[in-house]
Structure formats: structure tokens, C-alpha cells
Structure 1
Amino acid sequence: MSKLSQSKKIALFLQDNPNQRYTAKAIAEAITTRYPEDYAEKRANPRFETEQDFISQVVAEIGAQKQGILNQSNKIKWQDKPRPRVYWFDDGTLLANDESLPEEESSDEAPINNTLSEYDLYPILMDYLKSEHQLYCLRIDEKRSKNNLGSGGNQWLHPDIVAMEPVAQQWHQYVKSCVLQGGGQSVRLWSFEVKKTLTMGNVRKCFFQAVSNSSWASEGYLVATSIADSRVEQELRMLSALHGIGVILLSVNNPSESELLLPAKKRPEIDWQSVNRIVEENADFKDFIDLVSNYYHYQTGRVRSKDWNH
């Protein structure tokens, strides 16, 4: 076993690849491959159902250890904007025009984000969730709710996007039957609240909106295109640890580079009482649960793409 701290592992990896910028996800994949024996016990933890779950946890740890990584060497640099955050080892040979490139990218991204509405972000998020997490998504339009409970009766009730993860899709039919008869879960449900920018002025309001409308799900997330500064990120880390809602930073220009900043705490059971509350109020959510129900009970192993991602 290497007996190196994770921060030291990262520093050595960056030093071995000078002047190359790496996201936290790329670093996580690299160090867990380079030091497999150090991560064997963590990887075997039953709470990580997939390799992606495990990598997401290491990514979150890297974000929390930023200062420890920088303390390893004054040649280790980092850049927060444009997202995702990147780290690199500067061996002194970078040209001045290379250093200016990230600033040019940042200035390009700002006006794009300013012209996009939250509504414009929904298809971008669904593309990311479909390609990177193999989720089947639906948009929940609050305008399709009954709204017969008076002013504020449905406040913070509806998530923006919901998704189904058909975990049993590739299982043998015998296994599917056993799970179905035994009351096990062959699907997992995800829920997402979308915002443009998180600042110290709105972070708690946005986060608790996600707590209210997404805590029923197997995994609930607050999604934003940007975080104003490190204070906001620290607040998100504290709130996520307390309430289990995860955070995704959505890259508008390149959705595949979106960053799962904080993994959500996985619920062992879906809160069906809360699900029923939303079903009774919103037609889109009712359609979503109908699709989930059909997949769960018939277990055909097929999901019709035309029913999803709109």
C-alpha cells in the first residue's frame, strides 16, 4: 500500500503530467487507477452501487481537499471559472498566451449564461443526465398543476426535472421476477431543481426549495450553471451534508463536462406519500409515475425513448 494521502497522490499525478489541466473527475479516475490497492476497501463499500458512484465520492473529496492539494506545492494551480474547476502543475514553461486562454473562455461563457433562462437549461440538463447517467427524464411543468389549494398551497412542491434509472434493465428475467415478488427495487427515481446562478443571497432559499421538492426521490439534486464564490460552495457542502441533497454544476457549452460537485445521499426507499401528493396535483408528474409503473410491473427490459426526455 502506498500510504500516501489523497492530496499527495493528486500532487504527484499533476507533477507527472505538467501543464495539463485536469478536472476533479479526471483526477479521481487517474489516482484510483494508479493506486488501486489504496481504494479497494472504499470501492467495495456497498453504498456504491456502481463505479460511477464511487468516482463521484472521490470527486467530492477532491473538492473538499482543495487547500490541502495546493499546499503540496506552490506550482500546483487551480482555476474555478469557467466551470468545471481544473487543476494543473505549472513547471514554468507555460507561454503567456496559454495562460490567457481560460480567461477568454470565461468571457465567452458569461453572456451565453446571461441570455439563457432556466427553461432553456432543462433540455441541456436532460442531455447530460441521459448521456452521462443513463437516466430517462421528464420535465415537470408547474402550470399543469390543479392549484386548488389556494395561494402558496403548492409552493416548492414540484421539481423541474424527474428521471427514472432502470437498474434492472440488463438483469436476467428470473432475477427481475424475484425482485418484483420480493418487493425489491428495480428502478430508482431522481429529482432535480434547476437554477442559473447560486450566490450567498439565494443559496439557502434555492437549496431548501430542492429539499422540499426533491427529498422524496432516491436521489435529489440542486443544479446550477455557476457558483458565485468559495463561500457559496462551502455553504452548499454544509447543507448537503445535513440534508442529503446533491449539487450538479451544469456546463452550458459542453454538457458532458458538467460536474457532479456533491453526490446526493441515496434514500433506501422512495417516499411514496410525497410522490402521491405530487401525483394528485400535477399532470406531468402523474404521467411520469405512470411510465415508471408500466416499466416496473411489466419488466420488459425496454424503455421507449419517445416517451422520455421532453
Structure 2
Amino acid sequence: MELLKSQPGSRFTARQIAEWIAARYPAAVQAKLEKSSAVNSHAEVMNQIVAEIGASRPNWERQVPQLRTTEGIRPRQFYWTEKSEEQEVHDAERTPSRKELSTQFESGDGTGGSEVDVDVQLEVSEAELYPILIEFMEGEYPFKGVRIDERRSSNAYGRGGNRWLFPDVVGMEDLTRGLDSEVKLAVRESRDRRIRLWSFEVKLLVNRSNARETYFQAVSNSSWANFGYLVASRIEGSDTIKELRILYAMHGIGLILLNVEDPAESQILIPSRERLDIEWSMCSRLAAENRDFKSFMRRVRQFFQTGDMQES
């Protein structure tokens, strides 16, 4: 707690915390080594401290509300904050992009007085996550991803009519990629499945305060697709993934943790449960309401006609 409280917001693994303890309190660590019959070296006592930090985490989180931990990321990270979980979500959603902050700094409009101040604030915006997600998915599957901008909707149903209607990103997966050309033609003539459609709801942060809301938003806007996912760049709170797994059991929406620095290291933490049939009537409504989704459906049609996922 001494370490975390002294550097609020900074994230540390259990190993980093143990190393800090050893450097800060070497006599105590040496005494622990001498008293223990189970460890015989400094490396072993360090491993024991790391294990004890992990085992103590649930009790610490109950006793100290300022202590938070990340979920899904391995190794788990610990940090200190005075913000409520609701405030963390609010602040994450209001975070300006790196491009915006750089523009403010260059024009003299930023609140920070130096380049260092600006660098401290550099965070990823939700919009910057969309291409990262697409890059990850296209690296994992024969997949083509497309951004759906809800601002390009007609709002024919009036104010609030499109709430939780459109996903952030959609994609189609070519089930025939890699097959012999004659086999592809055979699949086409057989009318067997050649494509799967994916839907993604993207968030900067999912924690206990917004886990259910964001999950049901993903449930709502992916009802048409074969696969639906909630995607986040940060998952925090010791019970968050547990709650999402309970909801998954009922609704089948999967969970992806994005690695912003290295998209290829992103993880599908909970695989989506596949729906065998596409809900074409819902696709029709989305296409009628939104130009991006209509363009996506045009690509789907072209794929069925030509076998090519690229837009022509």
C-alpha cells in the first residue's frame, strides 16, 4: 500500500511490488528468509512474497477501496486511485485522443505548461481502438473488418430510436479461404455456408460499475450476427470477468481484451457462442438506417457473387 499510494494511478505487477519491498526493507526480507524452512535462497523468498501478494489481494481489495487491480491482463497489475469506479469510466470515456492533445499543445491551447505535461496525459481514445481491433482480427482470421459510425444514421425512429442498435465494428469471415478453387465452386453451388458475420461493441474501460450495461449493449447490437463480442482495452475490478462469465452463460457474448501497444498480443478471453443463422431482417433495418452498414451489406452481397471480400 505504501508503494501504490505514493504513485497513484501507476500500475505494478506483484513481482515489481516484491522487488520494491526487497529494496525498501532488505532486513525484513532477510529475516523472512532465515525464519522460513520452505525457502533457501533470495530468489525463492521473492517468489514466496509474489505468491503472498496474489493470495492477499481479495482481502486487501475488500478492506481498501482505493486499491484496484486489472483483470484479464497477465500478470495482474495493482494500482491506487481515489476515484470511484463510475468516475474511472467517466474519465476514460472523456479522454481526448493523442492527436487532439498534440494539436492543443502545438497551438498553445492545452492546459499543460510543458511537453512533459502533455505526454503524461496521452491516452488512447475509443476511436483509436477500432483499427487496432480490426488489425487483431484480420491477423487471427480470414476476416475483413469495417467501422460502423452511428452518426451516419438517419434516425428515422426519432430520438433514442437507435440506442444500442449499431455496433462499433462489424466484420465478415471467409470460410472458404484456403480451399481449392474447385472446392470453393462446389461450396458455392451447394449453398453451404461460406461466410460468418461478426459484431463488436468497443469500450475503453470495463469495470464493475459498467460491466452489465456494456455487456447488454453488446447483446443488443449484435443480435443479427453469428458472433458478438464486447471489446475493451482495460478490464478492471476483481469481480468484473466473473460477472461477464455469468452473463456469457446466459447470452453468449464473448470478451476481447485489446493490447493497444501490440495488437497481435490481444486476447479473446471469452469466446463468443456462435449463432448458426444470420438475422437478415435485423440486417435490413440496420442497412436502411445507416450508410456504413449498408455498405457492409453490399460487400457481403459481392462476396456471395464473386467470392471476393474486397469492396469493388
TM-score band, normalised by shorter chain: 0.5 to 0.7
Query: Does the 8 A contact of 2:71 with 2:236 survive in 1?
Result: no
Give 1:197 shift.
0.6
CA distance in 1, matches of 2:269, 2:120: 22
Give 1:130 shift.
1.4
Structure-2 residue corresponding to 1:265 = 273
CA distance in 1, matches of 2:134, 2:145: 6
* Residues 1:82 and 1:267: Cα distance change in structure 2 (over 3 Å): closer
Report how many aligned residue pairs link the two structures: 214
- Aligned counterpart for 1:119 among listed residues 121, 127, 151: 127
Structure 2 residue matching 1:215: 3-state secondary structure: coil
* Residues 1:82 and 1:155: Cα distance change in structure 2 (over 3 Å): closer
CA distance in 2, matches of 1:225, 1:85: 14
Q: Which amino acid aligns with 2:243?
A: E
- Aligned counterpart for 2:246 among listed residues 238, 249, 255: 238
Query: Does the 8 A contact of 1:83 with 1:251 survive in 2?
Result: no
- Aligned counterpart for 2:226 among listed residues 196, 212, 218: 218
Does 2:153 match 1:140?
no
CA distance in 2, matches of 1:151, 1:114: 34
- The normalised TM-score by structure 1 is 0.62
Query: Does the 8 A contact of 1:84 with 1:251 survive in 2?
Result: no
Structure-2 residue corresponding to 1:297 = 305
- The normalised TM-score by structure 2 is 0.62
Give 1:273 shift.
1.4
Q: Which amino acid aligns with 1:215?
A: S
Q: Which amino acid aligns with 1:249?
A: L
CA distance in 1, matches of 2:223, 2:144: 19
Does 2:143 match 1:154?
no
Structure 2 residue matching 1:115: 3-state secondary structure: coil
Does 2:167 match 1:167?
no
1:43-89 CA deviation, whole Å, 9 max, x = no partner? Answer: xxxxxxxxxxxxxxxxxxxxxxxxxxxxxxx69979974863249xx
Give the 5 Å matches for 1:8-19. none
Structure 2 residue matching 1:252: 3-state secondary structure: coil
Q: Which consecutive unaligned segments of at least 5 residues does structure 2 have?
A: 1-14, 16-50, 58-68, 80-91, 93-118
**Larger RCO: Structure 1 or Structure 2 (Cα < 8 Å, ≥ 6 residues apart)?**
1
Give the 5 Å matches for 1:39-78. none
Does 2:188 match 1:199?
no
- Aligned counterpart for 1:180 among listed residues 181, 188, 191: 188
Higher-Rg structure is 2
Structure 2 residue matching 1:216: 3-state secondary structure: coil
- Provide the identity percentage: 41
Query: Does the 8 A contact of 1:84 with 1:257 survive in 2?
Result: no
CA distance in 2, matches of 1:216, 1:228: 29
Does 2:268 match 1:281?
no
Structure-1 residue corresponding to 2:73 = 84
Does 2:275 match 1:247?
no
Give 1:247 shift.
0.3
CA distance in 1, matches of 2:121, 2:213: 21
* Residues 1:239 and 1:267: Cα distance change in structure 2 (over 3 Å): same
Query: Does the 8 A contact of 1:215 with 1:245 survive in 2?
Result: no
Divergent runs of 4+, >4 A: 74-83, 110-114
CA distance in 2, matches of 1:168, 1:288: 19
Query: Does the 8 A contact of 2:72 with 2:257 survive in 1?
Result: yes
